[in-house]
């Protein structure tokens, strides 16, 4: 892949994240997929997942809380969900990565944690974090 193609791909991804465009998944949570993830976590002990969170409405914000579109606002949303999950599941999840510019986190979760997050209104999407083969253009 040429440098020009890499730059194009990076810009497309950045635009998708910035404008919250979903070209990989739908807004709807597929319960059978959640059940499959929960079963896999039960068998393996945990599974690594990517969790995209919903941004709260700016009308819900008070003056002392950073707006959700800022880095501080994104970090606040991520920390709230992680902290709440730890309290509800009985132990803090293993945080692999928190994205700075997108309300997205990567966590290693057990079955109970996946089930809890699948019912959390602040969660927009959960998917397994799997290796993806690199793609090349012809």
List the CATH code of the domain at 25-128: 3.30.70.80
Q: Give pLDDT tens digits along the chain (138 positions).
A: 566 665 665 555 554 454 443 334 444 446 778 888 889 988 999 999 999 998 766 544 444 555 656 888 899 999 999 999 999 999 999 999 999 888 999 999 999 999 999 999 999 999 999 888 887 766
Q: What is the dihedral of CA 81, 45, 34, 122, to 10 degrees?
A: 0
pLDDT at 15: 47
Planar angle of CA 56, 101, 51, nearest 5 degrees: 65
Residue 20, helix vs strand vs coil: coil
Whole-number pLDDT of residue 32: 77
């Amino acid at each position: 892949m040429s440098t020009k193609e890499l730059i194009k791909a990076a810009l497309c991804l950045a635009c998708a994240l910035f404008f919250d465009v979903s070209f990989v998944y739908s807004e709807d949570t597929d319960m059978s997929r959640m059940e499959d993830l929960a079963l896999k976590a039960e068998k393996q002990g945990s599974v690594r997942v990517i969790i995209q969170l919903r941004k709260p409405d700016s009308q819900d914000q008070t003056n002392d809380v950073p707006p959700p579109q800022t880095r501080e606002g994104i970090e606040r949303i991520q920390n709230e969900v992680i902290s709440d999950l730890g309290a509800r599941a009985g132990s803090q999840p293993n945080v692999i990565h928190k994205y700075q510019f997108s309300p997205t986190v990567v966590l290693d979760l057990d079955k109970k944690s996946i089930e809890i997050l699948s019912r959390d209104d602040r969660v927009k999407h959960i998917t397994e974090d799997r290796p993806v083969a690199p793609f090349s253009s012809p």
